[in-house]
Amino acid sequence: MSVNLTLLLVMGVLFAIGIYLLLERSLTRVLLGLMLLANAVNLLLLATGGYAGLAPIFNKDIPAAEFNDPLPQAFILTSIVISFAVTAFMLSLIYRSWLLSRADHIQDDREDRRVATQDLFDAEEDSEIAVEVSDFHENDHPAASREMIPGVTLKKTVRPGPHPERTDNA
Amino acid sequence: MLIVLCAHFIVAMLAPILFSRWGRAAFYVLAAVPAASFVWLLAQYGNVYSDSAPSPTLDIPWVPALDLNLTFRMDQLSWLMSLLVLGVGALVLAYCTRYFKSADAGLGGFGAQLLAFAGTMFGLVTADNLILLFVFWELTTVLSYLLIGYARTRIAARRAALQALIVTTFGGLAMLVGLIMVGEGAGTYSISGVLAKAPELVAAQGTPGRVLDIGIALILVGAVTKSALLPFHFWLPGAMAAPTPVSAYLHAAAMVKAGIYLVARLAPGFSGTEYWQVLITVLGLATMLLGGWRALRQHDLKLILAYGTVSQLGFIMTVVGLGSREAALAGMAMVLAHGLFKATLFLVVGIIDHQSGTRDIRELSGVFRSAPKLGVVALIGAASMAGLPPLAGFVAKESVFAAFEANARYGSAGHMIGVAVLAVMVLGSILTFAYSARFMWGGFASKPSGMGLAAATPFKPVGWLFLGAPALLSALTLAYGLYPPVVEAWIAPYSALFPADDPHGLHLALWHGFTLPLALSGVVVAGGLGLFLVRGRFEALQGKLRTGIDFERGYRQLIVVLDQVAIWVTGRTQRGSLFFYLAVILATAIASVGAVLVWTEPSWTAQKYFVDPGSPFQVIAGIAMLVGAFGAAGAKRRFMAVLMVSVTGYGMALIFALQGAPDLALTQMLVETIILVAFVLALRSLPPGLAERGAGEHKVLRAILGTAFGALMVVVGIVAMGSRIATPVSLSLPKMAYEGGGGLNVVNVTLVDIRVWDTFGEISVLAIAATGVASLIFVRGRGQRLARAETVAPGSIGRVGEPGRVPSPVVELAKRFAVVPANPWLVAGRTLAPERRSVIFEVVTRLVFHSIIVLSIYLLLAGHNGTGGGFAGGLVAGLALTIRYLAGGRFELAEATRVSAGTLLGVGLAAAALTGIAPLFFGGEVFQSAILTFDLPVFGHVKFVTSTLFDIGVYLVVVGLVIDVLRSLGSEIDQHEENGIGAITMIEDDEPLEVAR
């Protein structure tokens, strides 16, 4: 197989710059990076088709090998249109982000950061709960209101409300 | 069998409807299912116990390739277990009618789960496939989780449910591994098949033998967790948060017996494997003692029973797992006896709780006097548990002692071990007697008022319907004890699978004569009575002897550690920084692919060239692209960067054209143009500079990552293309396209015919993206309400001159142009403010618009044979609309397209989908195309390929997408601008507001 180094080198540069921009904080630059990456991938696909050839319009007098490979072309066509849709979507994202926060700017996710500092205490799992000795609600049966019985020590240290050490600072 | 199984699940599914109609009486309907099955089961007795006929089986292939079949087999052991499962199931369900109130929340779901549980349990004990068994096994786990957590509002119930789920699922997973090891080792997943092969499997030496030993041990881990043996026993007392009928059924008679069943099922073949005896005997006996010990400390009647169950399960497990004929008989006798008396006692506790509102033995007093019938029923159950004659528990326990006596005398394990085991069992039985007595005393006795109680607990009278289920069970306990030969006949065929220890044989009987077991029973009664009499001091002793070893706390510590690890890992990996994630992904990609490249030493033999002889000018286009790319990276202004990226895009189009891909060149050109317009429209409100806070972060790292990845891709490209040895499949495409697809343009036919599924997926994505664009800008709807141009005053749209803008002389001059209420060129051109209008643009638009639309339709229709197609055509039409919008403003766009973009997208997708489905009606395949030829008056002979219809769908979707983009990024943002929503009001920083005082 033949390898068109020009196409591959341009592709390499597009990949490199595309990623350089993709890793940016500015959303616009991220989008531009994505567009460059799309072009780079298209070039790679095109390069797999080998030498330049005739446009693949069938003619029974022309052998198939004379055409430029139509299969990568079909892939690229799909890719171009999808990239267009993605670009349009990203543009609306950028505008929306601008409307909401006046920033064209990828921020760190504070919610994620909070996970690392979160408290181990989980009320569902870790709070002390009273021992229950009946399936039935207490108001049905006066005998079951255990608080009134003196001398009976049941664990009843329900901690109300959130844990005092729970921190929500960002 | 299948009918029984299905009936349970079907009625369970209908249960919510039944409950909404009949309230709690619906439990009777549910109970009828296992009851009828029970009758069926009795009728099967002849078949199952026939000497000549094989056990009834049912085999439905499910996934034959995995040896996973719905195989059910009703042998004697299954029959015996089914008896317990279905019988107790029916009684418990019937009992529920009195236990619950019709008004109780979620009763329908509860009934459904309980009935489904009965069906699942039946499936579990009849399944004859290891994996099928596992499926039922895990179903019981899930249903148990739901049933324990019935009281959703109580934290104790939720927590206990989760705990039981985690512990038993852990065991279940270990078991799955074990089942697979055993199944693969045996070469079959059929349980009867595995057991038939057991002798040769056990005899195997080396690796297969080890695999079997470990596999069986892992299965035992599953059994041990399910049957709540040490060290997993704690989930069972926790599960007492379930409603009492659930405890009676799941945690006494049925589910916890699943582990016992599994051991009983495997014992005939595998009781001789390496870890079997050690695991089962040690854990079983330890559990027996621990359960009995802890039961004597409880004050909740239900917990006394729960720890009693733990103790008994350990006991039964030891017996069933021993692997001698006597032990098998005694073990199964014990399973039945335990099922009967423990279910009775749980149901009795339920009644006490229901009538008095508590289960605390410190609060209950004088219940026997209030409810003597209940007391008698309970007494029978408790006496059977304690092992008193003439009840089932006595008969079974005597036989256990006899079996272990025989084992100690004649067994292979040696005298000392046999005697020690027997001694521990006697000790455990003394504890059992003591907690049985504690149960009766605690639940029913009239206690002195020194504990601060009234003389008798208020107790509502118990109806017969409520008492019916436990009374029937206790009657069976009595009958079993009085006439045990029936039970022995049920068990005998199963126990005959084992070798006998005792040459004299063992029979179930009330009276064996003056034998060692009788003496041991006497010791048990005496010891137990003594322990009960000193209960006060014994409790005090227990308080002192607390070791501090608490398995439940250990479990919770483990969960806490798990939480800690999870938080640590999450904190290290989920940094919330997109840069971090992408950098990790890219670095991984570079490192792994790079390593593979170095490792495999690929060939570089591909023929390489810089200048393609067929199209030397590509190099120039390539250089232009490089300039554009570097320009984009370095640009400081937003639109400069966009323009630079566009340069690479147009460069691409040139390269496509030179490479021999006119379709691509055309499409790329159109897309690039529309994107450029969209960019400008969308980002016009944003500040022109790109320098933002944090813009230059990690510059070096980014450059390194980018360069490395780019270089890697070049190498990968060269290597990949160099490794190609076969001729491309695409060589046959042109012929296929012409003959099969009826078109000359190979690329287009590939898209709409050869690889049409791909394209169908793609246009779906386009529709989704279009909807996304509209949703992000409009938030609600996609701007379907199109205002007419007549409603707008001339020259009113887009007046320039908002505060803050520098007035330029040109604009000032243009503003003075007259506003005329006529539409000389465009439909809505007059609506624009004069300073926004361009006569030349309007005239040109007027002239070219229709031509462009005609061109787009031409491209669409001609695309099958020449350059063009749905994508190109749609984009050209979109471009025409873009021009209309740019020249005449948003009212011009609204006048030009009176349909919703959503309609276009929908119609387009529908057209494409119909093209796919229609061939089915003509006996073809999905998306098969047909070539129609006919004559038309003007056009002459026409050759029409149905895939053109698909291309029309593509066209409509693309037009819809462009319209959505124009309406959202164009018209709607125009409106935002005019309303001042998007105007530039820079906020200095986005720090949290509470910090900036």
Contact state of A87 with B158 under an 8 Å Cβ cutoff: no
Q: Which pLDDT does position A152 carry in this prediction? A: 41
- What does DSSP assign to residue B299? -
Q: What is the C-alpha separation between B539 and B529, in angstroms, rounded?
A: 15
Residue B355 structure tokens: 């009538």
Collapse the DSSP code of B429 into the 3-class scheme (helix H, G, I; strand E, B; otherwise coil) and give the result. Answer: helix
CA distance B36 to chain A (A): 30
Per-residue confidence (pLDDT) for residue B216, from 0 to 100: 93
Q: What is the 3-state secondary structure (H, E, C) of B175-201?
A: HHHHHHHHHHHHCCCEHHHHHHHHHHH
* Residues of chain A contacting B608 with CB distance shorter than 8 Å: 2-3, 5
At B834, the pLDDT band (50, 70, 90 cuts) reads confident
Q: Is residue B353 part of a domain?
A: yes
Q: What is the reported pLDDT for B320?
A: 93
Amino acid letter for position A128: E
Residue B825: both structure tokens together: 């060129």
Cβ atoms B368, B375 nearer than 8 A: yes
- Spatial separation of the C-alpha atoms in residues B570 and B584, rounded to whole Å: 15
Q: Is the pLDDT of residue A73 over 90?
A: yes
Is residue B897 over pLDDT 90?
Answer: no
Mean pLDDT of B247-265: 91
| B470 touches A at CB < 8 Å | no
Which of A24, A32, A108 is facing B695, going by the closest CB pair? A24
The average confidence (pLDDT) of chain B is 88
Cα of B342 to nearest chain A Cα, Å: 19
Q: Quick check: B773 contacting A, CB < 8 Å?
A: yes
* A67·B958 Cβ contact <8 A: no
pLDDT surpasses 70 at B806: no
Chain-chain contact of B714 with A9 (C-beta, under 8 angstroms): yes
Residue of chain B with shortest Cα separation from A118:
B567
SS in 3 state form for B582-621? HHHHHHHHHHHHHHHHHHHCCCCCCEEECCCCCCCCHHHH
The B residues from 702 to 761 touching A (CB cutoff 8 Å) are 702-703, 705-707, 709-711, 713-714, 717-718, 720-722, 724, 728-735, 737-738, 743-747, 750-751, 755, 758-759
> Interior CA angle at B561 toward B555 and B562, to 5°?
90
Which has the minimum average pLDDT: B30-34, B97-101, B804-808?
B804-808
Q: What is the mean pLDDT of residues B204-225?
A: 91
Find, among B655, B716, B661, B712, the residue nearest to A6 by Cα.
B655
- Sign of dihedral through CA atoms A66, A68, A69, A74? negative
Contacts of A13 in chain B (CB under 8 A): 626, 629-630, 710
- Answer yes or no: is B565 within a domain: no
Rounded to whole angstroms, how far apart are CA atoms B842 and B863?
30
Does residue A161 register a pLDDT over 90? no
Instruction: Express as a percent the part of chain B with pLDDT over 90.
Output: 51
* B315 φψ region: left (φ > 0), alpha (ψ -120 to 50), beta (else): alpha
Residue B262 predicted with pLDDT over 80: yes
Residues of chain A by 3-state class (helix, strand, coil), percent to 5: 55, 5, 40
User: Looking at the domain assignment, is residue B837 inside a domain?
Assistant: yes
pLDDT digits (tens, 9 = 90+) for B515-531: 888 999 999 999 999 99
Residue B987 confidence (pLDDT) above 60: no
- Comparing CB atoms, the residue among A4, A22, A69 nearest residue B728 is A69
Which of B:153-192 have CB within 8 Å of A? Answer: 154-156, 158-159
Whether residue B798 contacts residue B837, with contact meaning beta carbons closer than 8 Å, is answered with: no
Provide mean pLDDT across the span B121-149: 94
pLDDT of B31 reads: 93
For chain A, which domains are there?
Answer: 5-101 (1.10.287)
CB contacts under 8 A, B 375-434 vs A, are none
CA dist B769 and A84 (Å) reads 10
How far apart CA B100 and CA B477 sit, in angstroms, is: 26
pLDDT tens track for B750-804? 998 888 999 999 999 999 999 999 999 887 777 767 778 778 877 777 776 555 5
C-alpha span between B623 and B626 (Å, rounded)? 5
Burial of A152 (0-12, 13-18, 19+ CB in 10 A): middle
The SS3 assignment for B831 reads helix
Q: Which chain A residue is nearest to residue B156, measuring alpha carbons?
A: A129
Query: Per-residue pLDDT tens for A29-51?
Result: 999 999 999 999 999 999 988 88
Instruction: Tell whether the model's pLDDT for residue B920 goes beyond 80.
Output: yes
Query: Does pLDDT of B347 surpass 90?
Result: yes
Q: Using CB atoms, pick whichever of B610, B705, B969 lies closest to residue A5.
A: B610
Over residues A107-111, mean pLDDT = 80
Q: Which residues of B touch A96 (CB under 8 A)?
A: 776-777
Which residue type sits at A92? Answer: S
Nearest-10 Cα torsion for B488, B489, B495, B496: 140
The β-bridge partners of B608 are A3
Give residue B457's domain range.
Answer: 286-533
| Beta carbons of B398 and B519 less than 8 angstroms apart | no
Query: Residue A50, Cβ neighbours under 10 Å: how many?
Result: 22
- What is the pLDDT at residue B990? 42
Contact yes or no for B183/B131 (Cβ under 8 A)? yes
pLDDT tens digit string along B876-887? 999 999 999 999
Q: pLDDT band at B170, cuts 50/70/90?
A: very high
DSSP per position, B252-271: IISTHHHHHHHHHHHHHHHT
Q: How far apart are CA B398 and CA B210, in angstroms?
A: 37
The backbone region for B320, taken as left when phi is positive above 0, alpha when psi lies in -120 to 50, beta otherwise, is alpha
pLDDT per position as a tens digit, B465-503: 899 999 999 999 999 999 999 999 999 999 999 988 877
Provide the token pair at B319: 């017996």
Highest mean pLDDT among A156-160, B529-533, B544-548: B529-533
Dihedral over Cα of B546, B549, B552, B554: its sign: positive
Closest chain A residue to B572, measured at CA: A116
Cα–Cα distance measured from residue A62 to residue B731, given in angstroms and rounded to the nearest whole number = 12
d(CA B862, CA B872) in angstroms, rounded, equals 11
Cβ–Cβ contact B847 with A under 8 A: no
Cβ <8 Å between A135 and B353: yes
Q: What is the pLDDT of residue B378?
A: 94
pLDDT value at residue B47:
87
Query: What are the backbone angles phi and psi of residue B590, rounded to the nearest 5°?
Result: -60, -50
Q: How many structural domains comprise chain B?
A: 2
Nearest to A81 among B659, B718, B871 (CB): B871
What are the C-alpha distances in Å from A146 to residues A134, B37, B348?
A: 11, 43, 22
The Cα–Cα gap between B875 and B883 comes to 12
Q: Which of residues 876-935 of B touch A (CB under 8 A)?
A: none
- Amino acid making up residue B134: F
Chain B contact set for A166 (CB, 8 A): none
Residue of A nearest to B157 (CA): A132
Q: Which of A30, A51, A84, A124 to mutate to test the interface with B (most CBs of B within 10 A)?
A: A84
Q: Above 80 in pLDDT, residue A24?
A: yes
- Position B82 scores a pLDDT of 94
Diameter over CA atoms, chain B: 127
DSSP string, B216-238: HHHHHHHHHHHTT-TTSTTHHHH
* Residue B333 pLDDT: 94
Per-residue pLDDT, B695:
60
A126: pLDDT confidence band, cut at 50, 70 and 90?
confident
Best A7, A9, A79, A133 residue to mutate vs chain B (most B CBs within 10 Å): A133
In a domain? residue B193? no
Residue B844: pLDDT band (50, 70, 90) is very high
Say if the ipTM goes beyond 0.85. Answer: no
What is the per-residue pLDDT for A143? 40
Banded model confidence at residue B696, pLDDT cuts 50, 70, 90: low
Q: Is residue B619 scored above 50 in pLDDT?
A: yes
Reported as half-sphere exposure (CB side, CA atoms, 13 A), residue B884 has a value of 26
Tell me if B632 and A109 make a contact (CB, 8 A cut-off).
Answer: no
Give the residue carrying structure tokens 């050759």.
B943
The rounded Cα B573 to chain-centroid distance in angstroms is 24
Sign of CA dihedral B871, B877, B882, B883: positive
Nearest Cβ partner of A42 from B652, B662, B961? B652
B-chain residues near A21 (CB < 8 A): 632-633
Q: Is residue B122 scored above 90 in pLDDT?
A: yes
Confidence band of B992 (pLDDT split at 50, 70, 90):
very low
Pair A3, B718: CB distance under 8 Å: yes
Alpha-carbon span B618 to B224, nearest angstrom: 73
Any idea which residue has 């309303």 for tokens? Answer: B979
Grade residue B166 by pLDDT with cuts at 50, 70 and 90: very high
Binned at pLDDT 50, 70 and 90, residue B924 comes out as: confident
pLDDT band at A133 (very low <50, low <70, confident <90, very high): confident
pLDDT for B926 equals 86
With the CA atoms of B264, B267, B271 and B276 taken in that order, what torsion angle do they form, in degrees rounded to the nearest 10?
A: -40
pLDDT at A168 over 60: no
| SS3 call for A105 | strand
| Cα angle: B743, vertex B749, B754; to 5 degrees | 125
Q: What is the pLDDT of residue A162?
A: 43
Size of interface A-B (CB pairs under 8 A): 424
Using CB atoms within 10 Å of the CB of residue B754, give its burial: 0 to 12 exposed, 13 to 18 middle, 19+ buried. buried
- Supply the pTM of this predicted model: 0.71
Q: In this complex, do A52 and B618 lie within 8 Å of one another by their Cβ atoms?
A: yes
User: In whole angstroms, what is the distance from residue B682 CA to residue B223 CA?
Assistant: 64
Q: What is the pLDDT of residue B989?
A: 41
B722, HSE (Cβ side, Cα atoms, 13 Å): 16
- To the nearest whole angstrom, how far is the Cα of B919 from the nearest Cα of chain A? 24
In a domain, B843, yes or no: yes
Q: Can you tell me the distance from the alpha carbon of A70 to that of B744, in angstroms, rounded to the nearest whole number?
A: 12
Confidence class of residue A165 from pLDDT cuts 50, 70 and 90? very low
Do the bridges between strand B940-945 and strand B68-73 make them parallel or antiparallel, or are there none, so unpaired? unpaired
Q: Is the pLDDT of residue A27 over 50?
A: yes
Q: Looking at residues B29-56, what average pLDDT do you find?
A: 90
Residue B768 lies in a domain: yes
> Residues of B408-442 as b/e, b for ≥16 C-beta within 10 angstroms?
beebeeeeeebeebbebbbbbbbbbbbbbbbbbeb
Mutate to test the interface with A, among B449, B713, B751 (most CBs of A within 10 A): B713
